[in-house]
Amino acid sequence: MQLIDGKSLSKKVQDYVQLEVKKLKKERGIVPGLAVVIVGDDPASHAYVSMKEKACKNVGFYSIAHKMPNTIMQEEIIEIIEMMNHNPHIHGILVQLPLPAHIDTNRILEVVNPKKDVDGFHAYNVGRMVTGLESFVACTPLGVMKMFEEYNIELEGKDVVVVGASNIVGKPMASLLLNANATVTVTHIYTKDLASHTKRADIVIVGVGVPALIKADMVKEGAIVIDIGINRLEDGSLVGDVDFDAVAPKCSYITPVPGGVGPMTIAMLLSNTLHAAQQVVGKK
Ligand code: NAD
């Protein structure tokens, strides 16, 4: 069994981004800028935003966070995003999800200029990604694809089962795998017999939010298991959706939580923002 080390791969990507930022600054006088919009006081969302701000600082980006109260009206969020759309120092805009229930998330995501949509959530980018055209791609599934590339894991013809079908994780993951010629099954809460699918998969990718959902008897010997889930247990520890200790011995490769997909998500956000800035100067 080999661990897929998301932490060190993320560091490698971030070192590359840092180098490119220096070049961009020196040669074009441009500093990539990321704006984060966060609404409400969800502690997990605030923790993610601080991690993103810290990562931006480390690679030399300019970053700003627009923190808004839970009670804010939709139109006010739209105004802020429009402002960022027109701000030449901002190359990437990220709206931290989830948004409060009174806000129409799809409407908000559609306001972001697709050229600054570094999260890849705008329908324009989703459509281009599905079609296999160049686009911004959602950071978490993109991070998983980067892991496959780094570890020379071939996808063509492989049976891949994706567990979880959200717009930000499962669906884009499935599209990218399909574009890489894998045979993809997408499962979700209404799937009748989850184990019957995962048991025959060469690769299982799970992003659900249920600790230890994937047990040892649900994966075949030699499978590759990618755990996207992030769950905080009552004792404060962080676990994924896979019963890691029991499943790992059966796997050829597995990602840990923490230290797996999580750090890759941040790395791909930085990479997408760098690309957005490079596109402005016609470098990419
Ligand atoms: P979501 O709630 O939007 O979607 C969950 C999906 O899982 C849905 O499609 C649902 O049908 C499915 N599901 C729920 N229970 C299931 C079950 N028992 N069996 C099979 N399918 C089930 O969540 P999300 O935003 O997609 O996030 C999923 C998980 O991934 C969460 O733990 C989240 O914290 C994590 N996540 C991690 C990263 C990262 O960087 N590693 C990024 C985004 C999300």
pLDDT value, residue 284: 58
Residue 38 has, within 13 A of its CA and on its CB side, a CA count of: 18
Q: Quick one: which of 133, 89, 80 has its CA closest to 280?
A: 89
Domain boundaries, the chain: 29-114, 139-262
User: Is residue 188 within 6 Å of ligand 1 at its C-beta?
Assistant: yes
Q: Which residue has the tokens 């230890």?
A: 212
User: Is residue 232 within 6 Å of ligand 1 at its C-beta?
Assistant: no
User: In sequence order, what DSSP letters do the residues of 112-127 get, joined into one string?
Assistant: S-GGG-TT--SHHHHH
**CA distances, 9 to each of 14, 16, 61, 78, 261 (Å):** 9, 11, 20, 35, 10
User: Is residue 252 within 6 Å of ligand 1 at its C-beta?
Assistant: no
User: Is residue 189 within 6 Å of ligand 1 at its C-beta?
Assistant: yes
Query: Phi-psi region for residue 262, left (φ > 0), alpha (ψ -120 to 50) or beta?
Result: alpha
What's the 279 CA to ligand 1 centre distance in angstroms?
32
What's the 139 CA to ligand 1 centre distance in angstroms?
15
Assigned CATH topology for domain 29-114: Rossmann fold (3.40.50)
**Does residue 32 have a cis peptide bond before it, meaning omega lies within 30 degrees of 0?**
no
**CA distances, 253 to each of 33, 39, 223, 226, 231 (Å):** 36, 37, 7, 8, 21
What's the 229 CA to ligand 1 centre distance in angstroms?
6
How many residues in the chain?
Answer: 284
Rounded CA-CA distance 148/170 in Å is: 16
Domains 29-114 and 139-262 share a fold: yes
Query: Closest ligand 1 atom to the C-alpha of 168?
Result: 26
Query: Closest ligand 1 atom to the C-alpha of 265?
Result: 40
Q: Quick one: which of 277, 276, 211, 279 has its CA closest to 247?
A: 211
Supply angle C-alpha 280, 48, 97, rounded to 5: 75
Contacts of 276 (CB under 8 A, 6+ apart): 32, 91, 92, 115, 116, 118, 136
Rounded CA-CA distance 46/50 in Å is: 6
Rounded CA-CA distance 109/51 in Å is: 22
Q: Which residue has the tokens 């993103």?
A: 52
On whether the CB atoms of residues 63 and 90 are closer than 8 A, the answer is no
Q: Which pLDDT tens digit goes with each residue over 90-135?
A: 999 999 999 999 999 999 999 999 999 999 999 999 999 999 999 9
pTM score of the predicted model: 0.98
User: Is residue 165 within 6 Å of ligand 1 at its C-beta?
Assistant: yes
CATH (one of 3.20.20.150, 3.40.605.10, 3.50.50.60, 3.40.50.720) for 139-262: 3.40.50.720
What's the 209 CA to ligand 1 centre distance in angstroms?
5
Q: What are phi and psi of 74, to 5 degrees?
A: -55, -45
User: In sequence order, what DSSP letters do the residues of 69-109 get, joined into one string?
Assistant: -TT--HHHHHHHHHHHHH-TT--EEEEPSPPPTTS-HHHHH
| Blockwise average pLDDT, block size 10, the chain, 284 residues | 98 98 96 97 93 96 97 97 98 97 97 98 98 97 98 98 98 98 98 98 98 98 98 95 98 98 98 97 73
Catalytic residues: 52, 96, 119
